[in-house]
Amino acid sequence: MKHRNESENLILEIEAGFSGNYSKSTVTHLDSRAIQYNSEGNLVFSQLLKYIFPQESKGNFMISYYSPTRQSFVYLGTNPIDNTAVINKQELISGLLKVKFRFISNADFSHPIPDDEGSDEGDKVGRRTKERKIGYIIEKVARWRNLYNGIQNAKGNTIRMTLEEAAKQVDISKKSLDDYLLQLRFGRKFGFNFEEHKNDKVGILRAYVKNFKKLQSKLNTEAGNAELKVLLSSRGTPSCKSDKCCVPPPGVIQSKDFNL
Protein backbone atom coordinates (compact mmCIF):
# COMPACT_ATOMS: atom_id res chain seq x y z
CA MET A 1 0.00 0.00 0.00
CA LYS A 2 1.20 3.50 -0.82
CA HIS A 3 0.18 6.78 0.79
CA ARG A 4 -0.43 9.90 -1.21
CA ASN A 5 1.89 12.84 -0.56
CA GLU A 6 0.21 15.34 1.78
CA SER A 7 0.82 18.19 -0.67
CA GLU A 8 -1.32 16.34 -3.21
CA ASN A 9 -4.26 16.01 -0.87
CA LEU A 10 -7.76 15.50 -2.19
CA ILE A 11 -10.63 17.91 -1.76
CA LEU A 12 -13.73 16.02 -0.65
CA GLU A 13 -17.33 17.01 -1.21
CA ILE A 14 -19.56 14.93 1.05
CA GLU A 15 -23.32 14.41 0.89
CA ALA A 16 -24.96 12.53 3.75
CA GLY A 17 -28.58 11.81 4.55
CA PHE A 18 -31.55 10.27 2.81
CA SER A 19 -32.87 10.29 -0.73
CA GLY A 20 -33.88 13.85 -1.55
CA ASN A 21 -32.65 15.18 1.79
CA TYR A 22 -28.86 15.40 2.00
CA SER A 23 -26.59 17.69 3.98
CA LYS A 24 -23.44 18.81 2.20
CA SER A 25 -19.96 19.57 3.50
CA THR A 26 -16.43 20.02 2.20
CA VAL A 27 -13.15 18.72 3.58
CA THR A 28 -10.00 20.43 2.31
CA HIS A 29 -7.50 19.26 4.93
CA LEU A 30 -7.10 15.49 5.16
CA ASP A 31 -4.48 13.57 7.09
CA SER A 32 -2.05 12.15 4.52
CA ARG A 33 -2.61 8.69 6.05
CA ALA A 34 -6.18 8.76 4.76
CA ILE A 35 -5.04 8.64 1.14
CA GLN A 36 -3.86 5.11 0.40
CA TYR A 37 -3.40 3.34 -2.93
CA ASN A 38 -3.28 -0.36 -3.77
CA SER A 39 -0.65 -1.95 -6.02
CA GLU A 40 -2.60 -0.85 -9.14
CA GLY A 41 -2.58 2.76 -8.03
CA ASN A 42 -6.30 2.88 -7.17
CA LEU A 43 -7.62 4.62 -4.05
CA VAL A 44 -8.52 2.30 -1.15
CA PHE A 45 -11.81 3.74 0.05
CA SER A 46 -11.99 1.94 3.42
CA GLN A 47 -8.83 3.77 4.52
CA LEU A 48 -10.29 7.12 3.50
CA LEU A 49 -13.53 6.34 5.31
CA LYS A 50 -11.75 5.93 8.66
CA TYR A 51 -10.67 9.56 8.53
CA ILE A 52 -13.64 11.33 6.98
CA PHE A 53 -16.29 9.38 8.88
CA PRO A 54 -14.70 7.79 11.95
CA GLN A 55 -17.96 6.36 13.31
CA GLU A 56 -18.44 4.18 10.25
CA SER A 57 -18.66 0.89 12.15
CA LYS A 58 -21.81 2.09 13.93
CA GLY A 59 -23.60 3.45 10.89
CA ASN A 60 -25.67 1.50 8.40
CA PHE A 61 -25.39 3.33 5.09
CA MET A 62 -24.78 2.90 1.38
CA ILE A 63 -21.68 4.47 -0.14
CA SER A 64 -21.20 5.86 -3.63
CA TYR A 65 -18.88 8.32 -5.37
CA TYR A 66 -19.29 10.60 -8.34
CA SER A 67 -17.54 9.39 -11.49
CA PRO A 68 -16.53 12.21 -13.88
CA THR A 69 -16.07 9.68 -16.68
CA ARG A 70 -19.58 8.26 -16.28
CA GLN A 71 -21.07 11.57 -15.12
CA SER A 72 -23.07 9.78 -12.43
CA PHE A 73 -22.70 8.33 -8.93
CA VAL A 74 -21.22 4.84 -8.73
CA TYR A 75 -22.23 2.47 -5.93
CA LEU A 76 -19.29 1.17 -3.86
CA GLY A 77 -21.11 -0.91 -1.27
CA THR A 78 -22.83 -0.85 2.11
CA ASN A 79 -20.96 -0.17 5.32
CA PRO A 80 -18.89 -1.88 6.70
CA ILE A 81 -16.82 -1.80 3.52
CA ASP A 82 -13.61 -3.77 2.94
CA ASN A 83 -10.32 -3.12 1.16
CA THR A 84 -11.62 -4.43 -2.15
CA ALA A 85 -13.68 -1.26 -2.60
CA VAL A 86 -11.45 1.06 -4.62
CA ILE A 87 -11.77 4.12 -6.82
CA ASN A 88 -9.87 4.15 -10.08
CA LYS A 89 -7.04 6.68 -10.12
CA GLN A 90 -8.38 8.14 -13.37
CA GLU A 91 -11.42 9.38 -11.44
CA LEU A 92 -9.18 11.52 -9.21
CA ILE A 93 -7.26 13.49 -11.82
CA SER A 94 -9.10 16.72 -10.98
CA GLY A 95 -8.15 16.43 -7.29
CA LEU A 96 -11.83 16.51 -6.31
CA LEU A 97 -13.75 13.51 -4.97
CA LYS A 98 -17.50 13.62 -4.37
CA VAL A 99 -18.81 11.03 -1.91
CA LYS A 100 -22.39 10.22 -0.93
CA PHE A 101 -23.54 8.42 2.23
CA ARG A 102 -27.16 7.28 2.03
CA PHE A 103 -28.39 6.22 5.45
CA ILE A 104 -30.80 3.35 5.99
CA SER A 105 -32.59 4.78 9.04
CA ASN A 106 -32.79 7.96 11.13
CA ALA A 107 -30.92 6.24 13.97
CA ASP A 108 -27.86 5.86 11.74
CA PHE A 109 -27.82 9.54 10.79
CA SER A 110 -26.64 10.76 14.19
CA HIS A 111 -22.90 11.23 13.72
CA PRO A 112 -21.28 14.56 12.88
CA ILE A 113 -20.14 14.91 9.28
CA PRO A 114 -16.72 16.54 8.81
CA ASP A 115 -16.53 19.93 7.15
CA ASP A 116 -14.50 23.10 7.13
CA GLU A 117 -17.17 25.50 8.44
CA GLY A 118 -15.53 27.83 10.89
CA SER A 119 -12.08 26.35 10.32
CA ASP A 120 -9.29 27.82 12.41
CA GLU A 121 -6.79 27.36 9.57
CA GLY A 122 -5.05 30.59 8.76
CA ASP A 123 -6.28 32.50 11.80
CA LYS A 124 -3.66 35.00 12.92
CA VAL A 125 -2.46 35.26 16.50
CA GLY A 126 -4.74 37.57 18.44
CA ARG A 127 -7.64 37.28 16.01
CA ARG A 128 -10.88 36.52 17.80
CA THR A 129 -12.18 33.00 17.28
CA LYS A 130 -15.14 32.93 14.91
CA GLU A 131 -18.53 32.82 16.56
CA ARG A 132 -19.81 29.36 15.79
CA LYS A 133 -23.26 27.97 16.47
CA ILE A 134 -23.76 26.03 19.68
CA GLY A 135 -25.06 22.91 17.93
CA TYR A 136 -22.03 22.96 15.65
CA ILE A 137 -19.51 23.08 18.49
CA ILE A 138 -21.35 20.30 20.36
CA GLU A 139 -20.87 18.04 17.34
CA LYS A 140 -17.24 19.05 16.86
CA VAL A 141 -16.31 18.57 20.51
CA ALA A 142 -18.06 15.18 20.58
CA ARG A 143 -16.17 14.03 17.50
CA TRP A 144 -12.87 15.35 18.88
CA ARG A 145 -13.30 13.41 22.12
CA ASN A 146 -14.45 10.28 20.28
CA LEU A 147 -11.29 10.28 18.17
CA TYR A 148 -9.20 10.70 21.32
CA ASN A 149 -11.01 7.98 23.29
CA GLY A 150 -10.82 5.58 20.36
CA ILE A 151 -13.20 4.46 17.63
CA GLN A 152 -13.56 1.05 16.02
CA ASN A 153 -13.13 0.49 12.31
CA ALA A 154 -14.99 -2.07 10.22
CA LYS A 155 -12.58 -4.81 11.31
CA GLY A 156 -13.13 -4.14 15.00
CA ASN A 157 -9.74 -2.56 15.57
CA THR A 158 -9.65 0.45 17.89
CA ILE A 159 -8.06 3.59 16.45
CA ARG A 160 -6.92 6.28 18.88
CA MET A 161 -5.44 9.71 18.31
CA THR A 162 -3.80 12.29 20.54
CA LEU A 163 -5.86 15.38 21.35
CA GLU A 164 -3.72 17.35 18.91
CA GLU A 165 -4.18 14.80 16.11
CA ALA A 166 -7.91 14.62 16.76
CA ALA A 167 -8.15 18.42 16.65
CA LYS A 168 -6.55 18.41 13.20
CA GLN A 169 -9.15 15.92 11.99
CA VAL A 170 -11.95 18.07 13.37
CA ASP A 171 -10.24 21.10 11.78
CA ILE A 172 -10.54 23.31 14.84
CA SER A 173 -7.57 24.25 17.01
CA LYS A 174 -7.10 22.31 20.24
CA LYS A 175 -7.12 25.59 22.15
CA SER A 176 -10.59 26.43 20.84
CA LEU A 177 -11.86 22.89 21.48
CA ASP A 178 -10.57 23.00 25.07
CA ASP A 179 -12.44 26.26 25.59
CA TYR A 180 -15.64 24.94 23.99
CA LEU A 181 -15.55 21.80 26.15
CA LEU A 182 -15.26 23.91 29.29
CA GLN A 183 -18.12 26.18 28.22
CA LEU A 184 -20.32 23.17 27.46
CA ARG A 185 -19.59 21.57 30.83
CA PHE A 186 -20.33 24.73 32.78
CA GLY A 187 -23.41 25.36 30.67
CA ARG A 188 -24.73 21.90 31.52
CA LYS A 189 -23.93 22.45 35.21
CA PHE A 190 -25.85 25.73 35.27
CA GLY A 191 -28.90 24.41 33.42
CA PHE A 192 -28.32 25.93 29.97
CA ASN A 193 -30.94 24.71 27.47
CA PHE A 194 -28.77 23.42 24.63
CA GLU A 195 -31.64 22.08 22.56
CA GLU A 196 -33.44 25.42 22.59
CA HIS A 197 -30.30 27.36 21.70
CA LYS A 198 -28.51 24.98 19.32
CA ASN A 199 -28.85 27.45 16.44
CA ASP A 200 -27.64 30.43 18.48
CA LYS A 201 -24.04 31.66 18.53
CA VAL A 202 -21.71 30.38 21.23
CA GLY A 203 -21.53 33.90 22.68
CA ILE A 204 -24.99 33.30 24.18
CA LEU A 205 -23.59 30.33 26.10
CA ARG A 206 -20.49 32.25 27.19
CA ALA A 207 -22.54 35.12 28.59
CA TYR A 208 -24.84 32.73 30.47
CA VAL A 209 -21.92 30.87 32.06
CA LYS A 210 -20.15 34.13 32.91
CA ASN A 211 -23.21 35.53 34.68
CA PHE A 212 -23.34 32.63 37.10
CA LYS A 213 -19.62 32.10 37.56
CA LYS A 214 -19.07 35.70 38.64
CA LEU A 215 -21.45 35.09 41.55
CA GLN A 216 -18.96 32.66 43.09
CA SER A 217 -17.17 35.42 45.01
CA LYS A 218 -20.46 37.02 46.06
CA LEU A 219 -22.30 34.03 47.49
CA ASN A 220 -24.04 34.65 50.83
CA THR A 221 -23.51 38.39 50.55
CA GLU A 222 -26.25 41.01 50.28
CA ALA A 223 -25.06 42.14 46.86
CA GLY A 224 -24.69 38.58 45.62
CA ASN A 225 -28.12 37.52 46.84
CA ALA A 226 -29.72 40.54 45.19
CA GLU A 227 -27.93 39.85 41.91
CA LEU A 228 -28.86 36.18 42.04
CA LYS A 229 -32.49 37.05 42.65
CA VAL A 230 -32.53 39.24 39.56
CA LEU A 231 -30.89 36.54 37.43
CA LEU A 232 -33.31 33.83 38.53
CA SER A 233 -36.39 36.00 38.04
CA SER A 234 -35.57 36.90 34.44
CA ARG A 235 -34.86 35.03 31.24
CA GLY A 236 -31.51 33.22 31.31
CA THR A 237 -30.45 34.63 27.94
CA PRO A 238 -31.83 37.27 25.54
CA SER A 239 -32.81 34.40 23.22
CA CYS A 240 -34.85 32.51 25.84
CA LYS A 241 -38.56 32.40 25.07
CA SER A 242 -39.43 32.22 28.77
CA ASP A 243 -37.83 32.54 32.20
CA LYS A 244 -38.04 28.73 32.51
CA CYS A 245 -35.82 28.05 29.49
CA CYS A 246 -32.36 28.22 31.10
CA VAL A 247 -32.47 27.70 34.87
CA PRO A 248 -29.77 26.26 37.17
CA PRO A 249 -30.71 22.98 38.89
CA PRO A 250 -31.71 23.25 42.58
CA GLY A 251 -28.72 23.54 44.89
CA VAL A 252 -26.13 24.44 42.25
CA ILE A 253 -26.04 28.17 42.90
CA GLN A 254 -26.00 27.75 46.67
CA SER A 255 -22.79 25.72 46.46
CA LYS A 256 -19.51 27.58 46.92
CA ASP A 257 -17.76 25.12 44.62
CA PHE A 258 -18.42 26.11 41.01
CA ASN A 259 -15.68 23.85 39.68
CA LEU A 260 -16.37 20.81 37.53
> What is the rounded CA–CA span in Å between residue 247 and residue 231?
9
- 168 and 88 in one domain? no
- 166 and 100 in one domain? no
What's the pTM value of the predicted model, to 2 decimals?
0.49
Q: Is residue 242 included in any domain, yes or no? A: no
- 103 and 9 in one domain? yes
User: What range does the domain containing 90 cover?
Assistant: 2-108
**What is the number of structural domains in the chain?**
2
Q: Is residue 117 included in any domain, yes or no? A: no
- 143 and 65 in one domain? no
- 102 and 8 in one domain? yes
Report pLDDT for 125. Answer: 31
Report pLDDT for 181. Answer: 94
> What is the rounded CA–CA span in Å between residue 132 and residue 243?
25
| Average pLDDT for 240-245 | 80
- 148 and 81 in one domain? no
- 31 and 68 in one domain? yes
Closest by CA to 91, choosing from 37, 160, 32, is: 37
Share of the chain above pLDDT 70, in %: 72
- 139 and 41 in one domain? no
Q: Is residue 30 included in any domain, yes or no? A: yes
- 11 and 80 in one domain? yes
Q: Is residue 246 included in any domain, yes or no? A: no
Q: Is residue 128 included in any domain, yes or no? A: no
Whichever domain contains 65, its CATH number is 3.10.20
Closest by CA to 34, choosing from 42, 25, 43, is: 43
Report pLDDT for 258. Answer: 52
